[in-house]
Amino acid sequence: MSKTNRGRFFEDYQLGEVLHHAVPRTVGAGERALYHALYPARHALYSADSFAQSCGLKASPLDDMIAFHIVFGKTVPDVSLNAVANLGYAQGRWLRPVWPGDTLRAESEVIGLKQNSNGKTGVVWVRTTGLNQNDEKVLDYVRWVMVRKGDIDAPAPETTVPDLPDALSVDQLHIPQGLDFSNYDFAQAGEPHRWGDYAVGEKIDHVDGVTIEEAEHMMATRLWQNTAKVHFDTSARPDGSRLIYGGHVISMARTLSFNGLANAQMVVGLNGGAHANPCLAGDTIRAWSEVLDKAETSAPGVGAVRLRLVATKGGAPFELRDAAGKYRPEVLLDLDYWALMPH
């Protein structure tokens, strides 16, 4: 019996199966420092204890996307080691802050299966949950991946495609306990624009760009313990390139959005997302956002804003799809999320 793990293939998944992912990880200030070095992250609540404390929290939690990347990375050996592509996300919720010293682990339930018409691949839907050392849920989300078949002759499973709502409602969002933006310091946050200054339908060009480097991407992907072959092994793709981890693009775009959305402090919901086209080293990422919705919350001084975040590798801002309704070739990411912002 082989002692090594070649990863799961499409025929290895069973509907309703729960995957308990290895290995738990204790996180701390090191992850924060590396995250802020790899991405030009500057949101104040994740940068300074004093700012977070002025907003009602005990200290500065780890960045929301650090929690996402670590939980995501845990799932890769069991979900996407043999993936052709990560197709999308839905129903993501940040359920409680992750603090330095927390230990995170992950588990996933298989909620959908569909073999593709070519008979060589299939789509697997999983609902992943991240938990801390107290077995408290810190994050959950749905994602779906296209996975190779190991045995082309393996019978196709019964098709089950989960019914996923287009978006989370504001009452499904979890506001961190104690969060209070009543005494929010706009000068320290970096921009004066508050919840009431943004209008539904408004679009924001975030202006800045960052060119993706091979070494930085591989360092980041290793930091999250994402072992997917396409990110490291040039023999895993026909063109011999290393595919940039989609989460790397998400974090870069989210960080670029600081210029224009500095006060969108905390990501609390992920409605949907698509990696529209592959990103490779040498691509220069730029970003723009569109305000999709706004809502009040029960927390003092805290409003919720639903945003579309689009990352591109060229082209004019605010151009998303072509005349046929397909993503334009320069679009890398189309992400729909909820964030918390001061009134």
Chain centroid to CA 65: 6
Higher per-residue pLDDT: 217 or 111:
111
Domain boundaries along the sequence of the chain = 10-342
Of 105, 103, 101, nearest in space to 61 by CA: 101
Question: In the chain, what is the greatest distance between 2 CA atoms, to the nearest angstrom?
Answer: 63
pLDDT in tens, 147-166: 999 999 999 999 999 999 99
Q: Which pLDDT band holds residue 43 (cuts at 50, 70, 90)?
A: very high
Q: What would the 3-class secondary structure string for 163-230 be? A: CCCCCCCHHHCCCCCCCCCCCCCHHHHCCCCCHHHCCCCCEEEEEEEEECCHHHHHHHHHHCCCCCHH
Chain centroid to CA 22: 20
Is the pLDDT at 84 greater than 90? The verdict is no
- Within 10 angstroms of residue 293's Cβ, the number of other Cβ atoms is 15
**Half-sphere exposure for 184 (CA within 13 Å, toward CB):** 27
Is the pLDDT at 42 greater than 90? The verdict is yes
The per-residue pLDDT for 338 is 98
**Strand order across the beta sheet in which 103-115 lies:** 18-26, 103-115, 121-131, 137-148, 83-94, 266-275, 331-342, 302-312, 284-296, 203-211
* Percent with pLDDT over 90 in the chain: 90
pLDDT in tens, 46-82: 999 999 999 999 999 999 999 999 999 999 999 988 8
Is the pLDDT at 40 greater than 90? The verdict is no
Higher per-residue pLDDT: 86 or 37:
37
The per-residue pLDDT for 249 is 97
Report residue 215 as tokens. 């070494």
Strand ranges (E), the chain: 18-26, 83-94, 103-115, 121-131, 137-148, 203-211, 266-275, 284-296, 302-312, 331-342
Superfamily grouping for domain 10-342: Hotdog Thioesterase (3.10.129.10)
The per-residue pLDDT for 17 is 98
pLDDT in tens, 102-119: 999 999 999 999 999 999
Is the pLDDT at 240 greater than 90? The verdict is no
pTM: 0.95
d(CA 267, CA 145): 23
**CA distance between the termini of the chain:** 61
pLDDT in tens, 251-276: 999 999 999 999 999 999 999 999 99
The per-residue pLDDT for 289 is 98
Angle at 96 between CA 94 and CA 136, to 5 degrees: 110
Residue length of the chain: 343
